[in-house]
């Protein structure tokens, strides 16, 4: 076989590993479909643009195993490809008290650990509303005021279930943005019992009350029967959202591991 034919074969294999868009119907996302990425060649599901995708690196395997008791393995699937298997016992951040300000109507998130803490430490059926924005986004500046007003209104009244509001700025939390697949601003997600139950772009401030306010009220007043039907209809999208949270937990472990290494290196430096 010539070098040219080998190169052609490799190129052909690479082309087969294309990514296809998997989107839900508009009921899950009022303004835009939630999007995941799936590899055609081996069935591995990827989340957003998570840079590096190093979860199966041996060093990461050891870091995860030592820090959380999690296990990351590769297994053979029936079609000859490889499929990932991730088992996590919980986020290392979950048991730590947050050090950021939680007294206001909107909690500003500054790290993956902050985000995981707010998503994982909730009351039963509590809704967590998450707004994503960017400093360079002019539309976001107008939406921020409406979002804060909405949070204050819900804090001052009784709601069918508990509710809290988070805010995530893109430049400070790019790893979260990429892992969750957020590609436009302003963007909103709603979590319930650690599951993402809504994910959509809010549009302009003139559309905010209809797109966001209407969706929040609908989720607040949904019955258990409606939630059961929703979970059944959007089982795939909810599963993909849980996988994205797993990726964030792994990234949090890596960040903690690197921070520990940096501290050890600095403490070992001689005079």
Residue 205 DSSP code? G
Helix (H, G, I), strand (E, B) or coil at 213: helix
Q: Which residue has the higher pLDDT, 99 or 220?
A: 220
CB neighbour list of residue 158: distance below 8 Å, 6 or more residues apart = none
Residue 98 DSSP code? P
88 and 72 in contact (C-beta within 8 Å)? no
23 and 194 in contact (C-beta within 8 Å)? no
Which residues of the chain form beta strands (DSSP E)? 19-23, 35-39, 45-46, 71-76, 82-87, 106-109, 127-133, 163-169, 187-192, 195-201
In whole angstroms, give the CA distance from residue 34 to residue 201. Answer: 10
Does pLDDT of 217 surpass 50? yes
Q: Rounded to 5 degrees, what are φ and ψ at 23?
A: -125, 150
Residue 156 has a pLDDT of 86
Distance, C-alpha 264 to centroid of its chain = 31
Q: How confident is the model at residue 97 (pLDDT cuts 50, 70, 90)?
A: low
* Mean pLDDT of the 180-205 span: 96
Does pLDDT of 9 surpass 70? no
Does pLDDT of 155 surpass 80? yes
161 and 127 in contact (C-beta within 8 Å)? yes
pLDDT in tens, 48-94: 333 334 443 444 444 444 444 444 433 444 444 444 444 444 555 44
């Amino acid at each position: 076989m010539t070098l040219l034919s080998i190169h052609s074969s490799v190129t052909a294999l690479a082309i087969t590993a294309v990514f296809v868009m998997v989107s839900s119907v508009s009921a899950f996302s009022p303004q835009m479909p939630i999007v995941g990425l799936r590899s055609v060649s081996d069935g591995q599901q990827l989340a957003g643009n998570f840079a590096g995708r190093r979860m199966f690196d041996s060093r990461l395997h050891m870091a995860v195993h030592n820090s959380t008791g999690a296990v990351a393995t590769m297994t053979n699937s029936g079609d000859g490809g490889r499929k990932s298997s991730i088992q996590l016992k919980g986020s290392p951040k979950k048991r730590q008290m947050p050090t950021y300000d939680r007294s206001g109507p909107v909690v500003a998130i500054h790290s993956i650990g902050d985000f995981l803490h707010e998503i994982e430490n909730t009351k039963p059926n509590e809704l967590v509303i998450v707004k994503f924005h960017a400093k360079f986004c002019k539309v976001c500046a107008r939406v921020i005021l409406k979002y804060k007003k909405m949070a204050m209104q819900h804090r001052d009244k009784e709601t069918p279930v508990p509710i809290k509001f988070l805010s995530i700025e893109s430049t400070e939390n790019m790893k979260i943005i990429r892992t969750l697949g957020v590609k436009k601003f302003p963007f909103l997600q709603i979590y319930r019992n650690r599951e993402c139950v809504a994910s959509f772009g809010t549009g302009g401030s003139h559309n905010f009350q209809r797109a966001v306010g209407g969706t929040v009220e609908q989720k607040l007043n949904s019955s258990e029967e409606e939630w059961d039907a929703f979970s059944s209809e959007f089982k795939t999208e909810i599963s993909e959202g849980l996988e994205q949270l797993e990726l964030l937990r792994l990234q949090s472990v890596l960040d903690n591991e690197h921070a520990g290494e940096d501290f050890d290196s600095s403490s070992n430096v001689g005079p």
